[in-house]
Amino acid sequence: MPELPEVESVRAYIEAHAVGKRIEDVRLLLPRLVKNTTPEEFCRLLTGQTISAVSRKGKYLLLRCSGGPSLLVHLRMTGSLIYQEEYEEIRGQRIIFALNEGYILYRDVRTLGCLWLVPPEGPTGISGYDSLGPDGNSDKFTLSYLQEALQSSKRSVKSFLLDQTCVAGLGNIYADEALFLAGVRPQRRCCDISPDECRRLHEAIGVVLRQGLAHGGTTIRDFISGNGQEGSNQAFLQVYGKEGTPCPRCGHTIIYTKFAGRGTHYCPHCQV
Ligand SMILES: [Zn+2]
């Protein structure tokens, strides 16, 4: 699933190509992707709107439209937005937005993505979006925020990091990488994490997200960023997908285990 750095690379790409352009026609090839309105309303309300900004919060993209509802998108597993100057059919295309110049294609091979029409300001009524915690790379994600949130939680730190209401933008890859960098085992209970470990974890979350952003995201399986260019962060991962290989820090074998319903990678020696 695209996480914060991957969604951000799509955002920047779509912003560069679509802001200021008018949606002249919408072809919704798979109506069930639209969650909070009818296919007819979706196409009618977006047609004629000008895209004024593209923002991101957590793993959500928001295409703001001047004068009408905004388009909220969650890419889930394999969703992406692709800009084309000339229309060309691509595998997995589900929605075609014809602009006054060029096209935006919503592509989604596994069709798990979600799109909503939302008010341009204030609560959207989409609970997953409205309840998002601070982005893991934002000024609002402070050390004291993390300390308080960890102290008041009895669950595992891995499931805490994946909970978008606690910290937004992390998924399996960046959560595993941050825990490795901090030297904290994913199974640890949040309230048992020491102030020093919390400091390391706070710093590690910022480091892995900034690294992912700098490399245009991580390309695994089906993720293709907006411009069709693959991110290169996979070359810099230390534990994710590295099961059975030596830990880059201590040489012990990286373990893969199912935990909290998700695959989890960690070093049993330097993560305590
Ligand atoms: Zn190690």
Catalytic residue from among 24, 199, 262, 268: 262
Q: For residue 202, report the distance from its CA to the centre of ligand 1, in Å.
A: 20
Q: Going residue by residue through the chain (272 aa), what tens digit of pLDDT does each one get?
A: 899 999 999 999 999 999 999 999 999 999 999 999 999 999 999 999 999 999 999 999 999 999 899 999 999 998 999 999 999 999 999 999 999 999 999 999 999 999 999 998 889 999 999 999 999 999 999 999 999 999 999 999 999 999 999 999 999 999 999 999 999 999 999 999 999 999 999 999 999 999 999 998 988 755 454 455 678 888 899 999 999 999 999 999 999 999 878 899 999 999 99
Active site residue 59: yes
pLDDT, position 221: 57
Active site residue 85: no
Active site residue 185: no
Q: For residue 253, report the distance from its CA to the centre of ligand 1, in Å.
A: 8
Contact 14, 63 (CB under 8 A): yes
Q: For residue 226, report the distance from its CA to the centre of ligand 1, in Å.
A: 35
Q: What is the largest CA-CA distance in the chain?
A: 59
Active site residue 3: yes
| Packed helices 195-214 and 143-151: angle between N→C axes, nearest 10 degrees | 120
pLDDT, position 231: 85
Instruction: Delineate the domains of the chain, giving CATH numbers in brackets.
Output: 4-130 (3.20.190.10), 143-266 (1.10.8.50)
Catalytic residue from among 11, 59, 94, 185: 59
Q: For residue 248, report the distance from its CA to the centre of ligand 1, in Å.
A: 7
Q: For residue 170, report the distance from its CA to the centre of ligand 1, in Å.
A: 22
The answer on whether 110 is annotated among ligand-binding residues is: yes
Contact 26, 96 (CB under 8 A): yes
Three-class DSSP category at 254: coil
